[in-house]
Amino acid sequence: MTLGPSGPPPVPRDGPPAPLATVNDLARLRMLSRVAEQVGEGVVVSDNDGWFLYVNPTFAAQHASTVEALTGAHLREFYREEELVTNVQPIIAAALRDGIGRGEVTRLRRDGSEFPARITLSLLRDEAGALIGRVLCVQDITAQRQLEEELRQAALYDPLTHLPNRRLLRDRVEYALQLRARRRTGVAALFVDLDGFKRVNDTFGHDVGDEVLVEIARRLVDRVRSCDTLARYGGDEYVMLLVELIDAEQAAMIGRRVLGGFEDPVRTVAGDLQVSASIGIHIATDFDDYDALLRAADGAMYDAKRGGHGGLRLSIN
């Protein structure tokens, strides 16, 4: 046979595929399957309508099920309806526009429980560019969310009493003062300082002192309204942010209720200890910011302390 200028004649289109190509394709599929089964993320291959054609073991474990049970499932089974609308649809839209979509969602397991996930959605196209399927990668970020929550707690809450700390208190006071300016509702700071607490630490040790602080925090929480904030200001000092107040008398009534929490002794490993507190209250004015509000309440508390243990004073605006 003589070779023409274009080389050997082409293989007829209706002839069988080359055996080597078939072997290579199968080997590639096996290799891709092994990779998908060993990665640390859940992997799903679906058709254009969202029906699962392939599920790897990690995905099955993430969703409290098996590969066999999930093959043939539909993507809608793993989201609440509102999650589909608010979070999933934008990811699908991004994939259709850019070829890939990413985002964080809340996924449903087969047992009905939920877990946070970071997902990546890619589109599969044939050689002509036609859409033939989707690949979804799912990363369980529960541990990451737990770490973020622990860091948030450490940044905003007192580690001993688990009450809001000064930083969170400042945020809430500033927000309350902004609302007060718009809605003209009453806002006040109620400053609580334990009387003679240093003597407890010096006599019984800091462990007993911590017992007292935790118990007092518990009692104060029982006396704070749901709309208010109780914070540990530092040491043996607590601050209540009072909002939606009608008048100064209502603030004083709350203060008297707080003092009632000190009537019973505190039970500790060292025995029952009688603890008292002095309270100062300042009703916010148009000129008060966070520092001015707390400073005035602190001054009223010292006025109460000078008048004797277990006292209550309202600052004069």
Q: Which residues are catalytic?
A: 236
Q: What contacts 35, CB < 8 A, 6 or more positions away?
A: none
Q: In terms of residues, how long is the chain?
A: 317
Q: Is 241:176 a contact under the CB 8 Å cutoff? A: yes
CA distance 77 to 46: 13
> CA quadruple 243, 245, 250, 252: dihedral positive or negative?
positive
The beta strands (E) that lie in 146-209 are given as: 186-194
The pairing of beta strand 277-283 with beta strand 52-55:
unpaired
* C-beta of residue 228 within 8 angstroms of C-beta of residue 258: no
CA atoms within 13 A on the CB side of 105: 30
Phi, psi at 9, each rounded to 5°: -65, 145
Among 259, 249, 257, 260, smallest CA distance to 188 is for 249
What are the angstrom distances between the C-alpha of 172 and each of 87, 169, 181, 187, 287?
Answer: 29, 5, 14, 11, 17
3-state helix, strand, coil in the chain (%, to 5): 45, 25, 30
Do 294 and 276 form a contact (C-beta atoms < 8 A)?
A: no
